[in-house]
Structure 1
Amino acid sequence: MKLSVIVVNYNMCQFLKQSLYTLIRACRDIEYEVLVIDDASTDNSGSMVQNEFPEATLIVNQQSFGMAKARNQGIEKANGEYVLLVNADTISGKKTLEHVLEFIEAHPNAGAVGVRMLSPRGNFLPESRTGYTRAWGALLKLTGLAKFFPKSRFYKIDDNWAEEDEFATTEVDVVNGAFMLMRKSVLNEIGGLDERLAAFGHDIDLSFRIRLAGYKNYYFPKTYILNFRNQYNPKFSWAYIKSFYGAMFIFAAKYLLHMPEVKIPGIPRIFAPKYEIER
């Protein structure tokens, strides 16, 4: 089997319905499977999947485990050569999956690939290029961990660089977890997502470990998804703050207390490197 598509849902029934429709449409000419992990939703999402997408494999959790563990449940069941982690609030283009699979197969050193993300209004989302938000960028700079992310321009910042490079295919440090295509063989080698980073940061950690293992992460903008950026909890709620900033603390402690052995030459440099860019 070529591709395993893994979608985790938590009370996003209508978003999930749109997402599955577009993903299955995009897989029309691909040997694929879709695994939906419903993380204890209460909005009848499970029934909707069973009734309207019988081709999907549905896993229903009786209690909410968080995004990272739910995704690991899907990865354990995945049979594809490639694994796509995609959010339930995304809409895929008709040829998105074909194009991104062609790209990763043409780049044997690629461990993970992300694509250009647009808002529902068609605006470019810079985090599809950087892989993380400004808050996470600030954390990496403050802790000194930024030296392990040499392709993120921490030390030569231009506010418009992400927008200018919207259409440039390039190697990146982090692939955004809203759409993250990986080789199953790489996941078998490095292990799954860190379940302590339940809702936030597990994609950053996974991207980092992919690079530490000697593979490359790529941003491929010649196709796209729409990302509604829905969240488990409202911003500024206590649950959101605890989960978001707690993940930052866990990530920083994980790598500050045990500095990793870097296999890729050049990662520890603190100066902005040259970029591998295809236009």
Structure 2
Amino acid sequence: MKLSIIILNYNVRYFLELCIKSVEAALIHIDAEIIVIDNLSKDDSCEMVRKKFPKVKLIENTKNYGFTKGNNIAVAEAKGEYICILNPDTVVAEDTFETLLKFSEEKNNIGIVGCRLLDGQGRFLPESKRYLPTPMVAIKKMLGLTDSYYVKELNEVEVGEIPVLVGAFMFLKKSLYNKVGGFDEDYFMYGEDVDLSYKVSSSGYQNWYNGLTTILHYKGESTLKDKVYAKRFYGAMQLFYKKHFKKNVLFNIMVWFGVRFATLVQKDSPALKSSPKQFVFISEEKNNDLERTLNKPLEIKMEFDGYQDGIEYIFDNNYLNFKSIIEIMSNTPKNCTATYKILPKNSNFIIGSNSSTKRGEVIIFEKN
């Protein structure tokens, strides 16, 4: 088998359904498997997977093992030569895996490969390509200064080597994942992707960013907007330095102050208002059930003809493929206030996000 897609789920049933549908569409020409590992969700995620996706391998944990151990359990069951660690709140394009497989097969000493990530507004997520967070870089990040945290020399649609990939999408050989020990289960939250990226590069392999394929990631990287987040970020970085670098007393002192002042200097990313003045449904047919639920007129258009402020565009996946949807979103003008949702194929809900720091919104409608 060539590829195993690993999706760790916890209480995001509708995002998971959309994610799996996009993954299935991207695996049509690949010998692959999808593994969903569930960390004891309280919603009906597992029931949904069993009912709607009988070919998906479902692992139901009896407790919430967290991100690192959960993924390690799933990778141990994977049969693919390559694995892709994928968040359930993502949407991949139909050619994503084919593009990255071809790219990986052509490279020597290939490490982890990442791709271009957009949030639910179609905005580029800079955590798609990051530097190694040295103590000073981490402190600047904690204080909201990100110029030295994200790789800005490499354009978002280019291809190049980078130090650190984001855990929402990590594509690599299973043998390499096992060689470096997989995700370090000492990490509670944050830092495990930095750790894995560093272990891979330290073993003589090259990590790559490939901006030629794009996916959506609805829940973007959280901002350091409160003391809880700041302490977790600080704790993850301390653990990382303890494992890989010498103790840095100055770093500990500076971060001690950084944690206490984080709430004064951090601002949440602005979210667009979730009350559009008009809905435009990109489809070839009317959806009366959806229109009734929205309680507003639903203008039907068979072609996307431009970006208008205050409009919420709903993409019918029964009509448009995921790559087309992602491409439209990726070209959103910088200051445009248009918002987007997707109606997955053969589903009774639409889903989207107007903020890169929040999980997003699901609107369910009943079919008559």
TM-score (norm. length: structure 1): 0.79
Amino acid at match of 1:256: F
Q: What is the match of residue 272 of structure 1?
A: none
Q: What is the match of residue 178 of structure 2?
A: 188
Q: Quote how far apart the aligned CAs of 1:184 are.
A: 1.3
Q: What is the match of residue 244 of structure 2?
A: 255
Quick one: distance in 2 between partners of 1:2 and 1:184?
10
Q: 2:129·2:151 contact (CA, 8 Å) conserved in 1?
A: no
Q: 1:65·1:198 contact (CA, 8 Å) conserved in 2?
A: no
Q: 1:131·1:204 contact (CA, 8 Å) conserved in 2?
A: no
Amino acid at match of 2:53: F
Q: What is the match of residue 98 of structure 2?
A: 98
Q: Once the two structures are superposed, what CA deviation does each residue of 1:5-49 show, in whole Å capped at 9, x if it has no partner?
A: 000011111111110110111011100011111011101111111
Q: Secondary structure at the match of 1:226?
A: strand
> Does 1:66 find its partner at 2:55?
no
Structure 1 residue ranges, 4+ long, deviating more than 4 angstroms after superposition = none
Superposed counterparts of 1:228-243, under 5 Å: 228-229=218-219, 236=226, 238=228, 240-243=229-232
Q: What is the match of residue 199 of structure 2?
A: 209
Q: Once the two structures are superposed, what CA deviation does each residue of 1:76-98 show, in whole Å capped at 9, x if it has no partner?
A: 11110001001011000111111
> Does 1:8 find its partner at 2:8?
yes
Match of 1:244 among 224, 227, 233: 233
Q: Quote how far apart the aligned CAs of 1:235 are.
A: 6.5
Q: 1:37·1:58 contact (CA, 8 Å) conserved in 2?
A: yes
TM-score (norm. length: structure 2): 0.60
Q: Which runs of 5+ in 1 are unaligned?
A: 144-151, 259-279
Q: 2:180·2:199 contact (CA, 8 Å) conserved in 1?
A: yes
Q: Quote how far apart the aligned CAs of 1:243 are.
A: 3.8
Superposed counterparts of 1:145-156, under 5 Å: 154=148
Superposed counterparts of 1:102-181, under 5 Å: 102-130=102-130, 137=133, 139=135, 141=137, 154=148, 161=152, 165-181=155-171
Considering only aligned residues, what root-mean-square deviation do their CA atoms show, in Å? 2.7
- If asked which structure has higher relative contact order (CA below 8 Å, sep 6+), I would say 1
Identical columns (%):
37
Cα 1:63–1:236, aligned 2, differ >3 Å: closer, same or farther? farther
Cα 1:241–1:44, aligned 2, differ >3 Å: closer, same or farther? farther
Q: What is the match of residue 271 of structure 1?
A: none
Q: 2:127·2:221 contact (CA, 8 Å) conserved in 1?
A: no
Q: Secondary structure at the match of 2:37?
A: strand
Superposed counterparts of 1:264-275, under 5 Å: none
- Return the structure number with greater helix share: 1
